[in-house]
Structure 1
Amino acid sequence: MPSESVLDLMRAAAEENIETEYIRIQGLDSYITDNKIRVLYHDRELGIDAAIVRGVGMFMTLEVFAKRVGVLEALARIMPVVNNPAASVIARDKWRSLLALASAGLPVPDTMVTENPFTAMRFTKRVGKSVVKPIMGSLGLGSTIVGDPDLAFQVTKGLTSMGIPSYYQVFLDKPGFDLRIFVVGDSVVAAMKRVIEVGWKTNIAQGAVGVRVSESEYPEAFEAAVKAVKVLGLDYGGVDIAYDKGSGRFFILEVNAFPQWHGLKQATGVDPSKFIIRLVRDKVRK
Structure 2
Amino acid sequence: MSSRVGILTSRAGGTTIKLRNGLRKFLDAEIVEMSRFFDDFDELRNYEVALNYINSRQQITLGSIAESMTTLINDVSTFMKCKSKAFVSFLMRSRGIPVPETFILSHPYTEEKIEEILRRVRFPLIVKPNSGSCGKASILVREEDDLRGVLDYISAIHEIPPVSEKIVVIQEYVKDARDLRAFFVGDEIVAVEERVKESGWKRNL
Asked whether the equivalents of residues 179 and 204 of structure 2 are also in contact (C-alpha less than 8 Å), the reply is no
Q: What is the aligned counterpart of 1:139 among 118, 134, 138?
A: 134
Aligned to 1:55: 54
1:69 to 1:2, Cα distance in 2 relative to 1, 3 A: closer
Shift of residue 187, structure 1, vs aligned partner: 2.1
**Equivalent runs, 1:16-35 vs 2, <5 Å:** 16=26, 18-27=27-36
In structure 1, the partner of 2:3 is none
Distance 1:122 1:150 in 2: 15
Aligned to 2:178: 178
Indicate how the Cα distance of structure 1 residues 28 and 82 shifts in structure 2: closer, same or farther if over 3 A, else same. Answer: farther
Q: Which residue of 2 aligns with 1:99?
A: 90
CA contact (8 A) 1:131 1:168 kept: yes
Name which of 48, 64, 67 aligns with 1:70: 64
TM-score (norm: length of structure 1): 0.55
Q: Matched residue of 2:20: which SS?
A: helix
| Cα distance change on mapping 1:55 and 1:154 into 2, 3 Å | same
C-alpha separation in 1, matches of 2:38 and 2:77: 18
Summarize the Cα distance change of 1:121–1:154 in structure 2 as closer, same or farther, 3 Å threshold: farther
User: Shift of residue 50 of structure 1?
Assistant: 0.3
Distance 1:122 1:165 in 2: 16
Q: CA RMSD in A?
A: 2.7
What is the percentage of aligned positions where both structures have the same residue? 18
| Alpha-carbon separation, structure 1, partners of 2:81 and 2:95 | 15
Instruction: Point out where structure 2 has 5 or more consecutive residues left out of the alignment.
Output: 1-10, 159-165
CA deviation map 1:71-109 (0-9, x unaligned): 24424xx42x22222111111111122222222222221
Matches of residues 101-250 of structure 1 in structure 2 within 5 Å?
101-114=92-105, 115=107, 116-118=109-111, 119-129=113-123, 130-163=125-158, 164-172=166-174, 174=175, 176-185=176-185, 186-192=188-194, 194-196=196-198, 198-204=199-205
Distance 2:177 2:44 in 1: 47
> Aligned in 2, Cα 1:8/1:193: closer, same or farther, shift over 3 Å?
closer
Aligned length: 182
For residues 193-252 of structure 1, what are the alpha-carbon distances to aligned partners after superposition, in whole Å with 9 as ceiling and x for unaligned?
5254x4311123xxxxxxxxxxxxxxxxxxxxxxxxxxxxxxxxxxxxxxxxxxxxxxxx
Distance of 1:154 and 1:90 partners within structure 2: 29
Instruction: Give 1:144's aligned amino acid.
Output: I
CA contact (8 A) 1:53 1:83 kept: yes
Q: Which runs of 5+ in 1 are unaligned?
A: 31-39, 205-286
Measure the CA separation in 1 of the matches of 2:59 and 2:16: 21
Matched-pair contact (CA < 8 Å) for 2:195–2:204 = no
For residues 92 and 38 of structure 2, the distance between their equivalents in structure 1, rounded to whole angstroms, comes to 33
Deviation at 1:44, TM superposition (A): 4.2
Give the distance between the partners of 1:15 and 1:121, measured in 2 at CA. Answer: 55
**Could you say if the C-alpha distance between residues 124 and 171 of structure 1 is closer, same or farther in structure 2, counting changes exceeding 3 Å?**
farther
Q: How far apart, CA to CA, are the structure 2 residues paired with 1:171 and 1:120?
A: 18
